[in-house]
Amino acid sequence: MRLDTSSTGNTSLDKAAKHSTSLYVFVSSADHSIDEWQNPFDGKVVATVPTASEQDVSSAVAAAAKAQPAWAALAASKRARVLRKFSDLMAENASKLAEVRRLLFVRSLL
């Protein structure tokens, strides 16, 4: 999922946002297609999300399986550092993530 980070100045998120057709494990979708999520009340695009084909899912699973041994080989302290950074980014962007979650719920009702 790509959130609009233009006003955050968060370079980590800005860098990740440039991968708008990447899936969660940063494997590009085969056809680079995206779905724009719009606020149903004003029509504003609030997120762009890559669509995943069966091939994309298979590629993502293969990439995760390939990366797992290296992740497992890292010292626990290094894995903890990565997970803490992820947690920090989630906390820093909690309001944006909550907004996307709210819009997903509203979208499911339409």
- Sign for the CA dihedral angle at 98, 64, 62, 14 comes to positive
Question: Which residue segment(s) compose the domain that 94 sits in?
Answer: 2-109
Average pLDDT over residues 3-24: 42
Higher-pLDDT residue of 27, 73: 73
Backbone angles phi, psi at 18, to 5 degrees: -70, -15
Structural domain tally of the chain?
A: 1
What would the pLDDT profile of 29-74 be if each residue is shown by its tens digit?
778 888 887 877 788 887 787 788 888 888 888 988 998 999 999 9
Distance CA 45, CA 38 (A): 4
Q: Which pLDDT score is estimated for 78?
A: 93
Q: What does the mean pLDDT of the chain come to? A: 75
